[in-house]
Amino acid sequence: DGGITQSPKYLFRKEGQNVTLSCEQNLNHDAMYWYRQDPGQGLRLIYYSQIVNDFQKGDIAEGYSVSREKKESFPLTVTSAQKNPTAFYLCASSIDPWGGNTEAFFGQGTRLTVV
Amino acid sequence: AQSVTQLGSHVSVSEGALVLLRCNYSSSVPPYLFWYVQYPNQGLQLLLKYTTGATLVKGINGFEAEFKKSETSFHLTKPSAHMSDAAEYFCAVSFSGGYNKLIFGAGTRLAVHP
């Protein structure tokens, strides 16, 4: 089945640690996205990538980093510079990075908690 | 600046009653509009979308939405609620040109009571 796989489903981070969230897609989509979800705030865009080896900051990129070395993969690193990382993180992809009229497909999410 | 407003963070209906979830957008260019549903601890699933053409859009699970340009609205409706409709619903907007960025509303949590 084609889709987006995020792992792990639950992740715990100690203060000062960097952690990496995995996102893999087998939909052959060019564009990939990372969103952060907090209660009552909807989804906010962290980073997006329109093509391999290229990515752009979204609205809340501070304290996060990404890479796009393969079309299928778009890992997100939450660094120690992110002061409030506890949230639900969603990875998405879309077939067309331009135009705006194609829907995004979402993974099942990773819930990150700082302990 | 483009934005999306969902009126009512929580909506409660009885099983069998009409579901109406409100979404208004702000935009200076023609929008593309989407409704997504999210079940607890899950990702988002597309319910329906409006891009061009017919302004009344039918989606999955009996939901539909109507794009009203004069009211800058894209309200989601379902004639008869089912217990399985209990979830959080997000309205989103994107635009032609530039990259394919979705702007989301804050979400509406729908509760369905027997």
pLDDT in tens, A59-77: 999 999 999 999 999 999 9
Q: Is the pLDDT of residue A3 over 70?
A: yes
A97 cis-preceded (ω within 30 degrees of 0)? no
- Tell me whether residues B41 and A109 touch, CB distance under 8 A: yes
B96 touching chain A per CB within 8 A? yes
Tokens for A47, please give them.
Answer: 């980073």
B104 touching chain A per CB within 8 A? yes
- Give mean pLDDT, residues B25-44: 91
B87 or A95, which is more confident?
A: B87
Nearest Cα residue in chain B from A89: B43
- Tell me whether residues A31 and B102 touch, CB distance under 8 A: no
- Give mean pLDDT, residues B86-96: 92
Note the pLDDT of residue A55: 95
Cβ atoms of B11 and B108 within 8 Å: the answer is yes
A 1-20 → B contacts, CB under 8 A: 4, 6
Q: Is the pLDDT of residue B97 over 70?
A: no
- Tell me whether residues B100 and A111 touch, CB distance under 8 A: no
Q: How many CA atoms lie within 13 A of A47 on its CB side?
A: 19
Q: Is the pLDDT of residue B100 over 70?
A: no
